[in-house]
Amino acid sequence: MFLPYLLAYGRTPWPFVSQLGNYLGALVNWVKLQNSSQTSEGDAAQEADELLFSIVGWHALTLPQNPAQLAEARMDMLAVLLAIGLDPKKSVIFFQEDNPNHTELAWILSCITPVGKLRRMTTWKARLATARNHPEEQQVQDALKDANSEVDETGLNAGLFTYPVLQAADILVYRATHVPVGDDQTQHLELCRDLADQFNRTYKSKYRMFPLPVQLNTPSSRILSLRSPTSKMSKSSPDAQSRILLTDSTAVIASKIKSAVTDSIQGITWDPVGRPGTANLLSILAACNGDESVKETASRYQGKNHGALKRDVTEAVEEMLKGPRREFERLKGDREYLRNIAREGAEKARVKSEVTMKEVRGRIGLA
C-alpha cells in the first residue's frame, strides 16, 4: 500500500513573480490543502502523509533564460510561496535542481518512453510558440486541442521535447499518489501514469514500484488575460498589461484593470461566451470575495456599468494582495533565511526520494 503523498506541481521561476491567475487558480488551493491536511480521491477522504512543493528550475531551462535573472527569479518564487502561506514546518518546499534524483529518474524513464507519445504531447508545442512570443495566438490554441497537429519545430530542443518525462519523474520519485493539477496538465499526468505502469510491468517484483498518481480536483478560478480574455492570464505573455503580478503596486493594478478589455454592451451580465472580458472581471471579483458565486456577483451589478465594476475589482484585488505583497517584500530582503529554507527542504526531499531511487537502481540492475 502506498502512503498518500501529495505532490503539488512545481512552479517555474520566471523573471517576475506569480500573477493573479496562478494565485487564484493554484497557490490559494495549495495553502488550503496544506492547512486542511486532507486529500480526497472520489468521495473518500484520507489523511495526507506529506505535501511537497517544488520550484522547478530545470524546467525553466527548456526556454531561453538570462542566468542572472533566473537566479533572482528562483529566490523570488520561494519568497512568494512563503508569503502566500506555505509553511516549511507543515510542507516540504525545495528547489527541484537541488535534488539530482529527479534527473536520474527522468533519464531512466526516458529509456522506456516511446518517442511517439512525446510527439503527441500538446504542451511542448504551446511552449515552443511561447518562446516565439506568440502565447495567445491561434497556433497555441490549436496545439492544445489537437495532439496530432503539426507545428514548426524550428528552435525545438531535446529538453523541451522531453520535459514531460522530467515532470513525470518529479512526481514518481516521491511515489506521489495525488497531484493537484488543472485540466491543462491532464495529458502530462496521463503520461506519468503510463510511464509508471510501463516501469511496473517492465521491472516486475512482488509489488508495484510506482503508484498510478491521480489528479486531485480542487475548486479553482480560471482567470483570463486582461487584454485577450479568451486566453488564460499568462506570466509569459509579451503584453505586461495582460496580467496582474502579486508585486504590482496599487496604481499599477488600477491601471491594468482600467485598461482591461470589455465590450460596448450596456449593463453587466454573466456571459462568458458573448462577453468574455466582462465575465473575466466578474470571475476575478467573485474569487477575491470568496463568499459568493460568480452569478451572484453578476446579479449585484445588473444596473451598473463597467466603470463601477472595474473600480470594485481594483479594490478587491488590492485588498487580497496587499498582505502577501508586504510579506514578499520582507522575505525578499532576507536571502539567508530563504537559502536555509531551501536547504532544509532539499535535504528532506533527497531523503524521501533516495528511498525510491535505491529500489529503482536495484530493479534495473544498476545497484
In this structure, which long-range contacts are made by residues 302-311, counting pairs with CB atoms below 8 Å and at least 24 apart in sequence? 302/267, 302/268, 302/269, 303/267, 304/267, 304/268, 305/266, 305/267, 305/268, 306/262, 306/268, 306/278, 306/281, 309/268, 309/278, 309/281, 309/282, 309/285, 310/257, 310/258, 310/260, 310/281
**What is the DSSP pairing of strand 44-47 with strand 38-41?**
antiparallel
H or E element that contains 9:
strand 5-11
Joined grid coordinates for residue 279: 465575465
- Residue 331 near residue 338, CB atoms below 8 Å: yes
- DSSP conformational letter for 184: G
Three-state DSSP state, 55: strand
Distance from the Cα of residue 349 to its chain's centroid? 19
Phi-psi region of 271 (alpha: psi -120 to 50; beta: other; left: phi over 0): beta
Q: How far apart are CA 320 and CA 87, in angstroms?
A: 19
Residue 286 has a CB neighbour count (10 Å cut-off) of 21
Map grid coordinates 512563503 to a residue. 82
Q: Give the residue numbers marked as catalytic.
A: 145, 232, 235
Distance from the Cα of residue 296 to its chain's centroid? 28
H or E element that contains 193:
helix 186-202
Three-state DSSP state, 205: coil
Amino acid, res. 161: F
- Residue 16 near residue 243, CB atoms below 8 Å: no
Joined grid coordinates for residue 155: 528552435
Amino acid, res. 193: R
